[in-house]
Structures are given as structure tokens and as C-alpha cells.
A = this chain, B = another copy of it.
Amino acid sequence: MPLLDEDYLFPADPQARRVARALYEHIDGLPLISPHGHTQAQWFADNEAFPDPAKLLVIPDHYVFRMLVSQGVRMEDLGVPSVDGSPVETDSEKIWQIFADNYYLFAGTPTRLWLDHSFQHLFGIDEPLNSDSAGRCFEHIARCLEQPEFRPRALYERFNLEVISTTEDPLDELKHHRQIRESDWNGRVISAYRPDMVVDPDYEGFAHNLAALGELTQCDTRSWRGYLEAHRQRRVFFKAMGATSTDHGHPSARTADLNDGEAERLFHDVVSGKASGEQKDLFRAQMLTEMAKMSIEDGLVMQLHPGSWRNHSHLVHKRFGRDKGFDIPTTTDYVGALKPLLDAVGHSPDLSLILFTLDESTYSRELAPLAGAYPALKLGPAWWFFDSAEGMKRYRQLTTETAGFYNSVGFNDDTRAFPSIPARHDVARRVDCAYLAELVSTHQLHMNEAEELAVELAYGLAKRAYRL
């Protein structure tokens, strides 16, 4: 019995399953578009072998280790690097054994599907991971990773990727992207402009980052005009290196549209360190509108990822740093929050603002009605905790009737885990085919429409939405 049945995630009803399978076969060969994620350009630039299974699949993946931590495994024992000097496990085989011992915890989660998909389709494993098989699986994967066909560029090709986007901050010189472009390899690895570190006054090292931005751009980043000009320059540079989008990870979706004088005074208070919490929040809000206006100028598509309470656990943040599985979603308002930006530029035919959410109650109440009206808005796919079979199904059920399919932008994998990319796209494609099959089976769509839509959801929408 293979780890994953060839019909996994298709509807249980035989007739609907046949439709889903037919739709899936129709799109199975389409290339993968990966317009938003967190892989590293250096992998493709250097094209070196990935390290061992634990270092590849466990230690860097907060989806994986937070689940083990929630059941009492210590992060130290999983080899998660500490930032405060606490000693952590370094024996990859030991770490892998703990992971395998607890693999049953992932039953019913997308992580389980992604991992089983990789084990089966990437590494050719056909036995379930558990305490007993742990050593054999480790050894087998480790041996695979030594082979040339498991190097990053080979995998890019094997995965049938057409383009993959990384995410970098304005201070990044994108030297790995340059190295890839100048190489004889034809893979398309582009960046996305993520300016949080110089936009969010609460970001670690904000003042230092601002100074570095000034140095890099030769702009006076302590003046409002110079600061905006520095952004413009870096956006142009990112665009020249292939970027087609910007990305904004704000605590909320709040926007503002201050006049020039107000904005300048606010910036002055922020830069001088005198800004209150409210002023800092207003500054982030204002910067979203500024970024939207620059998007209209330079054509970079804008992504907004709000609503995560970052580093919720004080202890984990102190000992292990950022992005360690303790970012927790919060209630997020879009309707009031986005109004200033939308009143300013929401009807611009040149703006494309893609909205994501971690608060599913906003899908039908706020996001679909907004995206189903404003020409500038589109809906990003089910994100993060909702990058899952049920999450994607709810996303379609809660947004399609109001916003249709064409105000959504297809799938993006948003992952740091390169080997999981085919699995993540496969899950998304299957769930979308299952959703379309349900519409066909209940006679809400004709089969020829469903076929066209399946291609759009798997490929076309992402390509056009991200201007790829």
C-alpha cells in the first residue's frame, strides 16, 4: 500500500470522485508557479547538496517542531538553534528518531500529507514513518540527498517549477539572484520586496536598518522625502532583478492617508524615537498607502499579510528567536482598516493589492465583499494554518459565491521547506478539483467550465495576478 493513495483528497462519492479525477488529470502536467515563499536563493546559486534529513525536514520547519513541542517535546531536543546560547541537540539521527517516534501526532494535518508525499514521490519510500522505520528512512533519505539529482537546481526542474519567488528585505543586495541570472542555468528565481524592517518602527534594529538603507541608496533616510526615494530606488532594483511583487507583514491591515505635512511630521517623530505606540501604528498604516502609490508607479503587485501576533511566547522568543511556531492569529478588521487606502487608490486600474488573512471569519464578511467590488483588490489563497485541505475548502466555500473565482489569485506555497513544494501544490490542486467536482456534480457548473477553471486555479490566475 503506498503512503498516499492516488485518489487522496478526492470526494468520497464515486461520481464526484470521477469528476475530480478527470479535472486533476486535465491539469496534472501544468508547471508550478510559486509566486510567494521563503526558500533561499543561495540554494539555487550554489547548488550544493542539502544536508541530512533532520536538518532538511525537521529543524527548520516550525510546522513540524511546534506540534512536537505542544505535546511536551523540548525544542532543545529537536536541535532548534538557540539565540541565547542554550545548548541544543546536534545529533541529527537522534533528532530524527524523536520526530519519527511522534509522527503519529500529525494524523489529520496537512504536514502529514506533505511529508508522506515527499517520502513517497521524492524519495521513493513506501513504509510509514514510525519508531521502527526511523533509522531506515533516515539513511535512505540521507543517501538520496547525496545524489546530484537531489541538488536544488535538479529538484527545481524535477518539480516542474516555472518560477519561484523568494522574499528579501530592502538591504539585501540580491547577490544570489544575480549569480543565478548570470549563470548558464535557466531556472527563474526572483525576489519579492519585503520592507518590514525599515517600515515597522518596532522591528528589531529599525534605526540601524534605516541608516543602512540610507548608506545603500545614498538617500537621506532621516528625511521623509529621502526615505520614500530610498524605497523607490530599492523597488526599482528589485524589479530589475526580476521581482514582480512586494510583501507586507503588518500586525493589522490598518491604512492611513495623511497629507504630506502630516506624514512628514509623523516620520520625523518616528525617526527621532519620540513616537508613541499609536504613532508607530499610524506610521505603518501610512506606509501601506505609500507602498500602494509606488505600486501604481512601478507596477509591482502588493501583498498584505496581516493579523499574526508574532512571537507570542516570551520564553520561546527569548531563547530561540523569531519564526519558531509561536505566531498566533488574531481578529483582523479589513473594512475600516483598508478604507483610507481604498479611498485613495482603490479604483486605480494599475494597483493590484492581494489580501491574505488568518481570521477566517473575515472571508465571507469582509474580504469577499471587498474583493468582489474594488478593482484593486484580490484574495490571496488560504494561508499558513489554513494551507490545508479543510482550510482551502472553507476558503472556496466562503468567498466564491460573493467574489467569484477570478478575484482569487491561485495557490502559493509560502514555504521554507523546498522539498514540500510539489506536495503543497498537489494538495491545493486536488482540493480545488474536489471543489469544482462538487459544483459539477450538483450542476452548478458545466464540465467544460470546470476544466477551464481548474487550469486557472492551478496556473493561470497566479501567473496573471503576480504579473509573471
Contacts and interface: CB of A to CB of B under 8 A. Distances in A.
A360 to B, nearest CB: 6
A343 B313 contact: yes
A313 B342 contact: yes
A373 B310 CA distance: 13
Contact of A109 (B331, B397, B402): B402
Contact of A315 (B67, B343, B359): B343
Interface residues of A, number: 92
Interface in A328-370: 328-331, 333, 335-336, 339, 342-343, 346-347, 349, 358-361, 364-366, 368-370
Given A313-B374, A385-B369, A449 B328 contact: no
Interface in A1-28: 1, 4-5, 7-16
Contacts of A336: 309, 330
A460 to B, nearest CB: 13
A435 to B, nearest CB: 9
Nearest to A440: B12
Given A369-B385, A389-B442, 18 more contacts: A1-B446, A5-B443, A9-B444, A10-B442, A67-B404, A105-B404, A108-B405, A109-B401, A128-B446, A315-B346, A315-B347, A326-B373, A329-B369, A331-B333, A359-B365, A360-B365, A364-B391, A385-B401
A173 to B, nearest CB: 35
B406 A386 contact: no
Specify which of A366, A397, A401 lies most central, judged by the most chain B CB atoms within 10 Å of its CB. Answer: A401
B443 A70 contact: no
Given A313-B343, A401-B389, A442 B349 contact: no
A128 B447 CA distance: 13
Contacts of A426: none
A291 to B, nearest CB: 20
Contacts of A331: 333, 365
